[in-house]
Structure 1
């Protein structure tokens, strides 16, 4: 079987959750005797040496990869290219002719755009989509509104402000901050009039207005949608994405080879060794953790290690360092290599995931569980489906450092709590098991297609 994976970006420059899952599945399916390939866009920015639409072929860990340059970035770029990019559709067709896959599995459409969906389907092969995040429903992906509220679906006047809020320090952000809500709603209305095709700002708003319907229509062509959580399934259906019978809830599996062989941590505090592993960006909530940690009494023996790229979001990292200033218990070791994850986890007692957004299925939670480590996480859909309060971890309120500090104190002060949480951790799904499930799914779709033919 020949399987083409599509993703929004790929190694070596990008190595977050979606990329790790895609690479793991591609390698496992190869180990099972199949041929796998990856198609992904690449940002056309200074230093990346790629122009819009230009292709770049290479191999990564034995997997053939084709990358295509994304449109030039900037606020003047036509917003429609976010979800309707015919250049990407053309490049998808070209790669389909070269690779001739039996199945296409899209892990993400961002950068590629939803225009690649009909391009894939032209070749009559099954198309599987994994909803790794909320891109099909949310133009800023994370379903967290500009005002801090958790979103449930697109509302045009809010979407306008959400996009502006992601451009900190820009002229657009400054203008939108001064614009009354009534004026934003008026612009939303005008975008559907003839003016919406003449004035550039209104054309941008019009494209944003038309985004949900365009994506919904193309998503009807997808043969199966895999979701990691019940929350994702609920949100997709509520926003008209997919059908009940097409959506399968199936958490992904992780590579446990770097973790499983290590001895389980059985130490009890003091000290309590707390860790954060992830992107050092506002939506991941590391600042909440630092605030909570600094609320712990000085006589409490504890330490906090923060692992993540210290260069990508420099203003936020500077903010984190200011919050931690003067507290010798807080350290910033920075990033680590993938093969070092077991070693890093073995140096911690508890992992904290303080995200401000739904977090579909953070791989770091599963890695912690594979290492036998409890997790303290935000009590928010997605995370709370994996972290069960007082069974394999603890939950705290969204954006509530006081509640987080309370839960951390419990781990230190309540005798046996850490041990009971460790004992409550169940088996973790492996990437080998995930690949076997996908292989069966692909074969069922192919046999169904053959019967139809």
Structure 2
């Protein structure tokens, strides 16, 4: 199996729900270590949820699976626990992080000696065959170096290895093309975000840590056996920033169908009299929720909108959204627990993903397609790979309130189109299929790395 030239392509969708990997014969079982920067239940972002779903799938098939991650408020004796057959190795996140000066905070986004020591002990204790890094932001990029002698795989969930804020978006809410020469634009971005604009007078000096960081992460990348990108757009961005094309494969994330309402077949919905739109995700400005609210304000009374997301993470932004929401059919419904996602997606007729940044492979789109719900999304980044215009959803110019209002208005005026788009949806590979493909990759890379 070659991984150097051709991106991995997931196979056909496995029919039905809650498909599991078959038990693995003892002689084929692997010891696999995952490293991730956050983890449920303390954090329920896409990377964390994907990592947990994958680890659980592999453990259920008989593999020896361990996850190394930091966590706040860790009690003595809880450093190593077992959950659903997966061993969780938890490292306390220092309380002092929130009180550090900006320079030290920045340094700790990619280097931390405490986590490095803990990881060395972890490797010595576990002795994994495969170390699969999901994210090391806020942990330490040196963990990849420390795993020398093991098969090292990195999944790219965003742009962090060449963009310090990981999202390639400027404070003025426009997409960024990446670091400029000398990282001067990174200085402008960071100082504005931190409200330290006076530091721009010292730009050449302030740029030094950014240049060092990017060079260090590039050095770390040279040691990785294989990068996995969940979208072609993400892979292309890394190649454009001089990461090795021959070591970046494309493999779409698997869908953890246990989160969804389990049903052997998905009946096509009847066209709604009044379409119900929905947003599920972080209520953060880069997600473009304000664009959605302003666009929906322009609609008549023939549609409704429910917004799901935590109101505590960015309370000022949520307050702004509620001030903007003048339409009587807009409802803020709060944070969903993972097990509630499937039901929520079934209750809406169309998901809206109005992101302003280059999304990589939003989990929520896979989940929507998993229950047959069409998607309206920004024409930006990998979203154009996930949503086919007129077939599985609609696309609009990112940040354009009028364009989004026009699309939503067209759907509200002719809601029968939702049934036709639902008919065209082909769900993403379920986690069992994704895990099986990863096991093939693990075997290929491991066998070739140690010949």
TM-score (norm 2): 0.87
- For the structure 1 residues 318 and 62, does the alpha-carbon distance in structure 2 shift closer, same or farther, using more than 3 Å as the test? farther
Question: 2:103 and 2:86 mapped to 1: Cα distance?
Answer: 32
Contact 2:174–2:357 (8 Å) recurs in 1:
no
Contact 2:266–2:372 (8 Å) recurs in 1:
no
Map of 2:146 onto structure 1: 119
Structure 1 position 289, deviation (Å): 0.7
Question: Of 225, 234, 247, which residue of structure 1 is paired with 2:236?
Answer: 234
Matched, 1:8 2:37: yes
Aligned positions of 1:213-232 closer than 5 A: 213-232=215-234
Map of 2:27 onto structure 1: none
| SS in structure 1 of the partner of residue 336 of structure 2 | coil
Deviations for 1:326-377, whole angstroms, at most 9, x for unmatched residues?
x331111112221222211111110000111111111110111111111000
Question: 2:231 and 2:295 mapped to 1: Cα distance?
Answer: 28
Contact 1:271–1:301 (8 Å) recurs in 2:
yes
Structure 1 position 386, deviation (Å): 0.4
Matched, 1:67 2:90: yes
The count of residues paired between Structure 1 and Structure 2 equals 414
| SS in structure 1 of the partner of residue 355 of structure 2 | coil
Structure 1 position 255, deviation (Å): 1.4
Structure 1 position 63, deviation (Å): 2.1
Q: Which has the higher contact order (CA 8 A, sep 6+)?
A: 2
Map of 1:276 onto structure 2: 279
Deviations for 1:114-163, whole angstroms, at most 9, x for unmatched residues?
11111011xx1100100011111111111101233311221322212322
Question: 2:134 and 2:376 mapped to 1: Cα distance?
Answer: 28
Matched, 1:96 2:123: yes
Aligned positions of 1:152-301 closer than 5 A: 152-155=177-180, 156-167=183-194, 173=195, 175-176=196-197, 179=198, 184=200, 187-189=202-204, 191=205, 202=206, 205-241=207-243, 243-257=244-258, 258-261=260-263, 263-297=266-300, 300-301=301-302
Map of 1:196 onto structure 2: none
Map of 1:170 onto structure 2: none
Contact 1:228–1:360 (8 Å) recurs in 2:
yes
Matched, 1:304 2:331: no
Question: 2:139 and 2:64 mapped to 1: Cα distance?
Answer: 22
Q: Which runs of 5+ in 1 are unaligned?
A: 168-172, 192-201
Question: 1:356 and 1:118 mapped to 2: Cα distance?
Answer: 34
Contact 1:273–1:349 (8 Å) recurs in 2:
yes
Contact 1:264–1:371 (8 Å) recurs in 2:
no
Question: 1:77 and 1:35 mapped to 2: Cα distance?
Answer: 39
Map of 2:321 onto structure 1: 320
Structure 1 position 415, deviation (Å): 6.3
4+ runs of 1 displaced by more than 4 Å? none
Question: Of 149, 170, 188, which residue of structure 2 is paired with 1:145?
Answer: 170
Deviations for 1:422-449, whole angstroms, at most 9, x for unmatched residues?
1221232110011001111111122213
RMSD of equivalent CA atoms = 2.0
- For the structure 1 residues 162 and 97, does the alpha-carbon distance in structure 2 shift closer, same or farther, using more than 3 Å as the test? same
Deviations for 1:55-101, whole angstroms, at most 9, x for unmatched residues?
93333444221222345233345233322333322221110001111
